Structure 1
Amino acid sequence: MLKGVAEATPSNPVSAYFEELSQVLSSMRVSDAEGKPIELQSGFEWVAETARKTQDAGNKLILIGNGGSAAVASHLAIEFVKNGGIRALSLNDPAAITAMSNDFGYANVYSEQLKIQGQPGDMLIAISSSGQSVNILKSVQTARAKGMTIATLSGFQPDNLLRNRGDVNFYVNSTQYGFVELAHHALAQAILDIYVFPQQAAK
């Protein structure tokens, strides 16, 4: 290998990209509903344990997000069901989104569904890169009123509105959508791989 090829310099954008992604993942922070810091492992364990308790109580997980975050929500819902044995669904079916948006406005596409789909004891995982999406914030408010537990995944500004709305809140310190979405997907997949799948395999 030529000298300097593996260095993260402007002439090596691939190495620079993955170096920045590594830094973004390392900067992830977790807090509780009062904004108090939580160890990352404790946050992971809370999500996994709450998901299992939700399933054991006969309830379900509901995942929501917009754009790339919606894709993450869909993928994770499938993983929880197929590999985790946990009831889960995402609320981003195109017909449902367009119907709710047409009748109630886009700000209510998830909250209106949650009014019907959500039950006390369900768990909501709300994903928003910016943490400022009105439809996600309104959904969290609806979930709270219905007695659901809530985990949030956000990024961009440290004081984004979603960051203090969940029982446990994961924050990614980046203003780039790609990095935030990758980090959200990685942390949720890590929770599944480390804490959920082994439990299911042991049954």
Structure 2
Amino acid sequence: RGTHPQQAMHDAIVAAADAVNALAASVAPEREHHQNAPACTIVGAVVANGLLVIGWIGDSRAYWVPDDRGGPPARLTEDDSWAAQMVAAGLMSEAEAYADERAHAITGWLGADAYELEPHTASFKPDRPGVVVVCTDGLWNYAEGADEMARALPADAARRPLHAAQVLVGHALDGGGHDNVTVAVLPFAVPAQGAGSA
């Protein structure tokens, strides 16, 4: 509707938060909204006009993997978690923080009991075709680094994104499947020079 894709992503996450908050009232209207309120994390990716837009709250992640594997893969999100806060504050190395039993305690989420909501958004203009993997920690616990995620992803992921997502779910289940596993794979094609995009 003419809104910049990054603003639209922000607005979509706020709308999702409102929907999750409304669940608290419908589940137990006689109780305080913040007691045992429904909650979730969120991550999303949109391709629009040659731009890749990511939005998230919590510890669900997005990864970039180039089709040709010629460029480096990358993690596109930063977790809202205890471990990420310790690393950002310089109090622990990433290895130390993620080895701690508190590592996966999330510090941001959607829900009536959440702290002040400020969706994270970012936009990128990749210079080559590739795919974005958006997933819950049920997958990234078994392929945490961007290189590990790229190795687990089939080479034909851009042509067969549903199959690639199924392979990644299988990777997590084969690793132990100790959490819910949600995965989507979004192909990104670099627009031709001078061409508009759909």
TM-score scaled by structure 2?
0.26
* Structure with the larger strand share: 2
TM-score scaled by structure 1?
0.26
